[in-house]
Copies of this chain bind each other. A is one copy, B any other.
Amino acid sequence: MMPQTVPRPTAGAARCKRCILHARCLPLGLERDALQSFDAILQLPRPLKRGETLVRQGDPFTSLYVVRSGSLKQSLVQGGRRGQVLNFYLAGEIVGLDGIGEQRYHSSVVALEATFVCKLPFTRLEDLAERVPGLRGQLYRCMSRELRNDQRMLCLLSGRTAEQRLASFLIGLSERFRSRGCSPYRFHLSMSRSDIASYLGLVLETVSRTLARFQEQGMLSVSGRELVIHDHEALSMLAREGVSGGCRLAPQSD
């Protein structure tokens, strides 16, 4: 039987060396000594309840957080609008990077389910990074990964159909679960339809309808938040490209 959710951390085990996320977390590739120093600044996993806020937009920036288990959503309030969902964070991902550089968190992050996070006070992390080039590199890598991620999102939101957006989203999730050792074909959506809609620049009715259509076409089954992907191939085809062969080419200036 395949695990349907991300594995829980062994209770109380804060040391990175034994952490199941070792391979995909920030201290990846650190030497034995450096890893111990890293361990020393890392604070014990903190439990968050569903709906609990980890960082609040505008609050002073103090720490990065690594998701140990569970999931969160990042959202941004601008103007009169309700929070635009910018990202979902799964185990091993880093929360708070957009706060570096300003003194404040630029967005809010809220737990979508029971969630554990490890806290990394940034000043201490920076001190350590000063002495450990590998860690500095990892930090850059994380930020630039986030950058690339946002850029992928920009492409997705720019002139793609609802079907393509949703397919992309599901395939993306699927891959992330796969790389965490969970089934890429059967998983639980910890976010609401309206979170997904906001993330994809749609309204929740459209998400609902599009999921229904995918189900009719036999590509997947959804029941509430339980998802089973039947035709991963078809779905990722949709995600990668326009379904109808005709990708209309914008005239390239130059």
Min Cβ gap A135→B in Å is 12
List of B residues within 8 angstroms of A240 by Cβ? 79
Quick check: is A107 within 8 A (CB to CB) of the other chain?
Answer: yes
Contact of A195 among B152, B198, B253 (CB under 8 A): B253
Q: Mark A168-211, 1 if CB is under 8 A from B, else 0.
A: 00000000000000000000000110110110111110000000
Q: Is the CB of A254 within 8 A of B110?
A: yes
The number of chain A residues touching the other chain, given as a range, is 35 or more
List of B residues within 8 angstroms of A197 by Cβ? 250
A142 to B, closest residue via Cβ: B101
Q: Is the CB of B83 within 8 A of A151?
A: no
Quick check: is A23 within 8 A (CB to CB) of the other chain?
Answer: no
Q: Is the CB of B150 within 8 A of A151?
A: yes
List of B residues within 8 angstroms of A222 by Cβ? none
Quick check: is A80 within 8 A (CB to CB) of the other chain?
Answer: yes
Binding site for B on A (CB under 8 A): 50-51, 76, 78-84, 86, 97-102, 106-107, 110, 126, 130, 133, 136-137, 140-148, 150-155, 157-159, 191-192, 194-195, 197-198, 200-204, 240-242, 247, 249-254
Question: Can you list 22 A-B contacts with CB-CB less than 8 angstroms, sorted by A residue number?
Answer: A79-B240, A79-B241, A81-B241, A84-B154, A84-B158, A86-B151, A97-B147, A99-B144, A101-B145, A102-B141, A102-B144, A106-B148, A107-B151, A110-B254, A126-B136, A140-B143, A147-B150, A150-B151, A157-B158, A157-B201, A192-B253, A194-B251
List 10 tightest A-B contacts by C-beta distance, closest first.
A101-B144, A101-B141, A158-B201, A150-B150, A51-B254, A157-B157, A192-B253, A80-B247, A84-B155, A100-B144
